Amino acid sequence: MTDKRNNAISFSIVSGKGGVGKTNLALNLGYALHKAGHPVMLMDCDLGLANLDVLLGLTPDKSLQDLLTDDAKAKDIVVPIEESNFDFLPSASGVPELIDLDEDLQGLIFDKLNSIIGGYDFLLMDIGAGISKTVLRFAAMSQERVVVITPEPTSLTDGYALIKVLHSEYGVDTFNVVVNQAASQSEGRKGFQRLNAACERFLGITLNYAGTVRSDPAVAAAVVRQVPLLKYAPSSDAGRDILSLAIKLRRMRDNLLPHVGNQGVLQNFSSNDAE
């Protein structure tokens, strides 16, 4: 179902490697955009290993798993985070059957979600790390992708692998890269340049540098307290970097919105559609 009043733009937050701070970044981007006056839906798409609820200190009664039943509705699993217009769609943890959903079941979930998401300005999808079919399909469904890496060689290698598969199998050619946990802005920029050089040489695509988020002890402190960094320490180095990134996401939305028309926020397609 397509909402004709659709104002939402979907951003998938993805990474080739785990442990790069992707989930925490998704949470804080959502908090920043909400504080700027935007209705935001934060969706935990790390199926089977969900942890956004832990960062938020929440224990939802229902999850995306419930949408697999015919009578379940998306609005019934929405959890307000702390104020109006900042909501959370939880997933389930420790449910192996969610990890590799087939295309029909994924389509069922997203058909139901499209009926409610159009009322938000942003849908931020925290997607699991790696290149599983579920991860790839979720990333391909979104209108924009934010690829989170760190300056470490393993993260750069795995980030390249994720981009390569999305490009070659799903026809995706737009990627916004964030370098997280960098010692400095300079180190982050250099990490991006290495990844971009590989993508230009071997894939023929140019990546968009979205920004760098510096390593900051306040991040771990906020996680322990189960509150967003931008609520706990908004003036920290990482907090200021995330605010800058949120401004860039607002610009991306402004640029995309005139072109999306009445199409669904999430495009239900498989790798075969790109062939």
Span 143-200, pLDDT tens digits:
999 999 999 999 999 999 999 999 999 999 999 999 999 999 999 999 999 999 999 9
Q: What is the pLDDT of residue 144?
A: 95
Give pLDDT tens digits for 40-74: 999 988 776 668 888 988 888 888 778 777 677 88
Cβ atoms of residues 90 and 60 within 8 Å? yes
| Residue 275 included in any domain | no
Domain at 89, CATH number:
3.40.50.300
Residue 260 has pLDDT above 70, yes or no: yes
| Residue 1 included in any domain | no
Give pLDDT tens digits for 100-153: 666 777 777 777 877 788 789 999 999 989 998 888 988 998 999 999 999 999
Question: For the chain, how many structural domains are there in total?
Answer: 1
Write down the pTM of the prediction.
Answer: 0.90
Residue 4 has pLDDT above 50, yes or no: no
| Residue 271 included in any domain | no
Q: What is the pLDDT of residue 265?
A: 65
Residue 233 has pLDDT above 70, yes or no: yes
* pLDDT average, residue stretch 208-234: 97
| Residue 23 included in any domain | yes
Q: What is the pLDDT of residue 272?
A: 43
CA distance linking residue 64 with residue 95, whole number of Å: 11
Q: What is the pLDDT of residue 226?
A: 93
Residue 29, CB-side half-sphere exposure with 13 Å CA sphere: 32
Residue 274 has pLDDT above 50, yes or no: no
| Residue 266 included in any domain | no
- Tell how strand 9-14 and strand 122-127 pair up: parallel
CA 214 to chain centre: 19
- Percent of the chain whose predicted confidence (pLDDT) is above 70: 85
Q: What pLDDT band is residue 248 in, cutting at 50, 70 and 90?
A: very high
| Residue 264 included in any domain | no
Q: What is the pLDDT of residue 250?
A: 96
Range of the domain at 154: 9-259
Residues 6+ apart with CB under 8 A from 131: 16, 161, 162, 165
Q: What is the pLDDT of residue 198?
A: 98
| Residue 4 included in any domain | no
No. of H helices and E strands in the chain? 9, 8
Q: What is the pLDDT of residue 183?
A: 98
Q: Picking from 75-79, 141-145, 239-243, which range would have the lowest pLDDT averaged per residue?
A: 75-79
Q: What is the pLDDT of residue 49?
A: 65
Q: What is the pLDDT of residue 1?
A: 32
CA 65 to chain centre: 19
Q: What is the pLDDT of residue 271?
A: 43
| Residue 240 included in any domain | yes
